[in-house]
């Protein structure tokens, strides 16, 4: 029996298989090394395990926004693992001031272009986070903004009243993210 020398096609297939195997090993190794420091969860650990949220100040005409925001912010912070919301005596204190509340017409009615059928509501708060043990200020007067669209179905007042929890929920989420993320 006579053995034939490998032809160039067989040799090319062998080299291609070897090259693909090496590429796979490099990619797998990079993935393992790249994920070595991954930790489950969204944020790094805060330097405090409890927080007190001071009563929220409202410098605007947004009726009852401070009480809704206060409840939503406390609820949002309480859902963070490793962080306890304390009525008093927390290791850190969060101070929030609602400084701006505006509404602009984003769409007008087809039968009367002076009246709005849709509005964009915007709310801004300044937040200060302080360590109660050292007095260190983690951040001072950090501006947090939120917005929501309000579609008028009846009168504007009831639409604004129904939209208030939506805009304050977004603001509470953004404030919580700012508190628990790395500064």
Range with the poorest average pLDDT among 44-48, 65-69, 74-78: 44-48
**Structural contact between residues 116 and 152, judged by C-beta atoms closer than 8 angstroms:** yes
Q: Domain count of the chain?
A: 2
The whole domain housing 127 covers: 50-180
Q: List CB contacts of 35: < 8 A, sequence separation 6 or more.
A: none
- The percentage of the chain sitting over the pLDDT mark of 70, rounded to a whole number, equals 75
The CATH number given to whatever domain includes residue 154 is 3.30.160.150
Contacts of 153 (CB under 8 A, 6+ apart): 159
Question: Is 90 exceeded by the pLDDT of residue 31?
Answer: no
Specify if 2 maps to a domain.
no
pTM score over 0.75: no
Look at residue 1 and tell me if it is in a domain.
no
Whether residues 72 and 136 share a domain: the answer is yes
- Say if residue 57 is in the same domain as residue 30: no
One domain, residues 33 and 62: no
Q: Which residue has the higher pLDDT, 114 or 111?
A: 111
């Amino acid at each position: 029996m006579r053995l034939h020398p490998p032809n160039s096609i067989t040799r090319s297939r062998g080299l291609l298989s070897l090259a693909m195997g090496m590429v796979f090993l490099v990619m797998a190794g990079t993935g393992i090394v790249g994920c070595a420091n991954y930790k489950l969860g969204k944020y790094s650990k805060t330097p405090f395990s409890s927080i007190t949220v001071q009563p929220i100040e409202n410098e605007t005409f947004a009726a009852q926004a401070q009480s809704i925001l206060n409840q939503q912010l406390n609820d949002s912070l309480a859902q963070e693992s490793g962080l306890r919301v304390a009525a008093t005596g927390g290791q850190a204190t969060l101070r929030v001031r609602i400084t701006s509340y505006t509404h602009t017409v984003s769409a007008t009615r087809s039968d009367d272009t002076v009246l709005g059928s849709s509005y964009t509501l915007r709310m801004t708060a300044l937040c200060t986070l302080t360590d109660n043990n050292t007095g260190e200020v983690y951040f001072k007067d950090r501006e947090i903004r939120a917005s929501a669209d309000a579609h008028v179905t009846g009168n504007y007042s009831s639409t604004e009243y129904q939209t208030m929890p939506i805009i304050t929920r977004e603001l509470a989420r953004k404030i919580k993210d700012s508190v628990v993320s790395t500064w």
